[in-house]
Structure 1
């Protein structure tokens, strides 16, 4: 619990559509049971959403602030926030309080498999890398597989229904920290940025050149003395089309179709 004594909700500056906002404006009804999922597709990509991650982390700990600690009788807890590494493991987020390590989830680069992993962790708030969404198809019966458009991402209808009935908010973020057509802005704080840099420096998944590039890129995000990132609220239907540009079906999903 690296952040519990160092970072508080008041340390962040949030705005929505140019007006001061709180985390509840971004995630309406946010509570201690919410589960946030960050889909990551490139080395260090998740740090582009680190301001929101750390602001949500601080808000989660606010719910338990008086109970936390490492001594007997105190509460040792981490939020149910998950990093979904698509296609490869891209970075360790331990210093950003993504812990235990099973919350760093490796998943195949295929839409159905990514959404299954998201559903299996009960994600209620979803962040995806900003991209033009591909068309999506919900497969209801085996016969439909014979006429599938190869340019569309294919899901089982049950997988989509699970997501639609549970995921309450979806946002697009950029690995650069600045999202096109953003309506959400979050100014981070020095302690949160220290956690980001510690994650970059300690990650065995990054090469030395990748670490240096990521550290340098953070310097371009300063606005009025704060690292400032932007996000865009999107419909869940768009988020599903942005999970991956890959429309190739995995062997696992093809087997589902054969058994429908």
Structure 2
């Protein structure tokens, strides 16, 4: 899989993969959030281009390696698709989180994600932890939404990438169902579209994942033994407002 076999545009102009992710460096971590079955496959062309770029850059530096990029899929609620066919390896990089915005944001932060792709989704208000929102603002270099509507970026997958997308759909038949498998095997070659957005909008999309545990995942015994009170948690609370 070679990046020159993909076709990229940015603002309706042909571009290279390296023009898409902001300040990207070898070793940067990429994450895709999946909220519904198969929605991650919308972002698969850009994911596979990033994987191709990872190996091309690595081969320029060394020839003897057995590595996979530090790329992750964040599944909300349950596994939404299998991605081993897309070089998401091992299974620990298929991260399943509860339907809780803070749990999702923590998972993204804990894995040090630099470039985040979110589903094109309604933004909502919600609650996350203050330190988690600030950490995301500092670390995230690129935030994109992936969807069917034309955006800032478009990617046409290579033949090899399209075969991998179709294979991922077929292997995920038990998660996707027949209709979605048919859709993705038929449309694996289709152009994918992405729009740049900011961290504040990303927090609004993340907030649509569900309802935040008012105790932010701290269980009662932990709170009691460590003297964590409601005021302690209130100091580390951030209210996400729905973007206008």
TM-score range, shorter chain: 0.7 to 0.9
TM-score normalised by the chain length of structure 1? 0.79
Taking the aligned partners of 2:94 and 2:8, their CA distance within structure 1 comes to 26
Alpha-carbon spacing, 1:95–1:153, altered in 2? closer, same or farther (3 Å)? same
Using the TM superposition, name which of 26-35 and 106-115 deviates more.
26-35
1:16 aligns with 2:6: no
CA shift for structure 1 position 205 = 4.3
Q: Residue 212 of structure 2: which of 245, 249, 253 is its match? A: 249
Match of 2:191, SS state, is strand
Q: How far off its partner does 1:40 sit?
A: 0.1
For 2:181, the equivalent position in structure 1 comes to 214
Q: Distance in 1 between matches of 2:75 and 2:4?
A: 30
Q: Secondary structure of the equivalent of 2:33?
A: strand
Equivalence map 1:134-153=2 (5 Å)? 134=124, 152-153=125-126
Alpha-carbon contact 1:89-1:205 (below 8 Å) kept: no
RMSD: 2.0
Q: What is the CA distance between 1:215 and its match in structure 2?
A: 3.0
Q: Which stretch of structure 1 is more off in the superposition, 52-61 or 181-190?
A: 181-190
**Cα displacement (A) at 1:23:** 2.1
* TM-score (normalizing by structure 2): 0.84
Aligned length: 222
The residue correspondences of 1:36-185 to structure 2 (distance < 5 A) are 36-65=30-59, 67-68=62-63, 74-134=64-124, 152-174=125-147, 178=148, 180-185=149-154
Counterparts of 1:254 and 1:44, CA distance in 2: 28
Q: Can you give the 5+ residue segments of structure 2 that lack an aligned partner in the other structure? A: 219-227, 234-244
Offset, 1:254: 6.5
Match of 1:242, SS?
A: helix
